[in-house]
Amino acid sequence: SAPRRPLMAGNWKMNLNHLEANLLVQKLAASLNEKQLTEVETVVLPPFTDLRTVQTVVEGDKLLIGYGAQDLSPHASGAYTGEIAGPMLAKLGCTYVVVGHSERRAYHHEDDALVGAKVQAALTHGITPILCVGEGLDVREQGGQVAHCTAQLDAALKGLSAEQVAQVVVAYEPVWAIGTGKTATPEDAQEVCGALRARLADSFDQGTAEKVRILYGGSVKSSNVASIMAQPDVDGALVGGASLDAEEFAKICRFP
């Protein structure tokens, strides 16, 4: 089967206005050559208010950089004040959307059913969901990380066909490693990423499992990315803090 193309996705969270976004995208593009951008898929995930600006700079300068949003509504349109729908994101050229980030699960009480509905909504509108799963410190200390993450995976993919699942990107983000400076060891990352792929093979089929890209996220930096990417079931990284610095994120994208 074709090797999985590495994916580096920068989750800006609630940082950078549209002027700052414009600058960061231009700096990032200037720091990476065409070969690098072709080999490693490079994606930014800005706040909603930056997406139109990012579209303009990416399309205007024909940059080989993808972009997407950090969340979407499970609904396609309607009376949902404050929400943003999949068709709106698709119209702005978004090719990715983060679904089920641990910060949304924790602060916005997103449960597995809602996360699953958002995965479905993204796929319906032709946007690749980056489905986040990950355990908290309590679960990790009990050794329950694999059971926890595979259960989150099962719940979010419930009712999807193998063809749909093959479109999904999964991100393993241990909650205790997000924004804490604590990185999972490469072996910790591989343990769960490998278990997630095995679960996909069990629930769907081997070919589908081999197509799905599985990212690691949690305090990824240019200094630790190579050892994480060396793991067989890690196909990329979801990067928070370090993606706000163009040169640092470019270094991460140049990991090979």
| Residue numbers at the binding site for ligand PEP (CB under 6 A) | 11, 173, 178-179, 217-220, 238-242
Q: Which of the following is catalytic: 41, 103, 173, 248?
A: 173
Question: Annotation-wise, does 224 bind a ligand?
Answer: no
12 annotated as belonging to a binding site for a ligand: yes
Minimum distance from residue 17 beta carbon to ligand PEP (Å): 19
DSSP letters spanning 47-88: -GGGHHHHHHHHHHTT-S-EEEES---SSSSSS-TT---HHH
CB-based contacts of 101, cutoff 8 Å, min separation 6: 11, 70, 71, 132, 173
Minimum separation from the CB atom of position 161 to ligand PEP (A)? 28
Q: State which residue, 10 or 116, has the beta carbon closest to ligand PEP.
A: 10
**What's the CA gap between 35 and 231, in Å, rounded?**
23
Residue with smaller CB distance to ligand PEP, 11 or 208: 11
| Residue closest to 189 by CA, chosen among 244, 149, 138, 245 | 149
> Which residue among the candidates 101, 103, 125, 191 is catalytic per the annotation?
101
The distance of closest approach from Cβ of residue 35 to ligand PEP in the complex, given in angstroms and rounded to an integer, is: 26
Q: Which residues of 148-187 are buried (b: 16+ CB within 10 A; e: fewer)?
A: bbbebbbbbbeebeeebbbbbbbbbbbbbbbeeeebbebe
Q: Is 13 annotated as a binding residue?
A: yes
Q: Which of 115, 128, 20, 144 is nearest to 68 (CA)?
A: 128
For residue 224, what are its two tokens?
A: 């630790």
The answer to the question of whether 179 is labelled as a binding residue is yes
Determine the Cα–Cα distance for residues 215 and 243; give it in Å rounded to an integer: 15
Residue number with the smallest Cβ distance to ligand PEP: 240
241 is known to lie in a ligand binding site: yes
Q: Yes or no: say if 226 and 255 are a contact pair by the CB < 8 Å rule.
A: yes
Residue 108 is a catalytic residue: no
Residue 11 among known ligand-binding residues: yes
Q: Which residues contact 70 (CB under 8 A, 6 or more apart)?
A: 11, 12, 13, 45, 46, 47, 48, 97, 98, 101
Q: Which is nearer to ligand PEP, 46 or 217 (CB)?
A: 217
**Residue with smaller CB distance to ligand PEP, 40 or 209:** 40
At its nearest, how many Å lie between ligand PEP and the CB of residue 143? Answer: 22
CB-nearer residue toward ligand PEP: 76 or 106: 106
Active site residue 101: yes
Q: What is the set of active-site residues?
A: 101, 173
Task: Show binding-site residues for substrate.
Answer: 11-13, 179, 219, 240-241
